[in-house]
Amino acid sequence: MEIEKTGLEGCLILKPRIFGDERGYFFESYNESVFNNLTGIQTKFVQDNQSFSTYGVLRGLHAQAGEHAQAKLVRVLQGEVLDVAVDARPDSPTFGQHVAVRLSSENNLQLFIPRGFLHGFVVLSETAIFAYKCDNYYNAASEKGVLYSSPELNIDWIVDAEKVSLSEKDLILPTFAEVYKK
């Protein structure tokens, strides 16, 4: 596995080592010992989640607050998404900045998102199956989020706004500036 640092501390792109031949391919998508040794991050994932979505579906930007905060290791099993992580740690030098990475079943890249980040993705292919590991259990009362189109974040989601499909919950989220007044 190769690790690539992003411009946001602790947010990492993971590239697995793929073994392929005329029959197909094999790769180890996660190994706790290798992950911990290569990243220096000691984490224990306790929950796996998976979603299926169609083109233009945008899920985010979400996080869990306080003691229920979650680090995530995300990847795409089928299709392609633009995955976005926003640094929402008020004391971070990159507070309010984001990283956007194309994750697909073709490139097999994964993104590690530390606790304290907002996370979201938009589907770029006809359909996508998105999977992620979490290091803390989901807690509905601790869920928070910000509007994907918050102007101060200046995220290029690639998909035209009129083709973006949001949940009712995500449509009414406050802006980043409303939630994170500094």
**Cβ-contact 119, 74 below 8 angstroms:** yes
Q: How far apart are CA 59 and CA 61, in angstroms?
A: 7
pLDDT at 182: 60
| Active site (annotated) includes residue 98 | no
pLDDT at 81: 98
Spot the catalytic one: 98, 119, 132, 180: 132
Spot the catalytic one: 30, 55, 62, 68: 62
| Active site (annotated) includes residue 62 | yes
Angle at 27 between CA 38 and CA 24, to 5 degrees: 155
DSSP-assigned beta bridge partners for residue 142: none
Q: What is the dihedral of CA 135, 138, 142, 146, to 10 degrees?
A: 80
Per-residue model confidence as pLDDT tens for the chain (182 residues)? 999 999 999 999 999 999 999 999 999 999 999 999 999 999 999 999 999 999 999 999 999 999 999 999 999 999 999 999 999 999 999 999 999 999 999 999 999 999 999 999 999 999 999 999 999 999 999 999 999 999 999 999 999 999 999 999 999 999 999 999 76
DSSP-assigned beta bridge partners for residue 168: none
Rg (CA), the chain: 16
- Residue 113: other Cβ atoms inside 10 A: 27
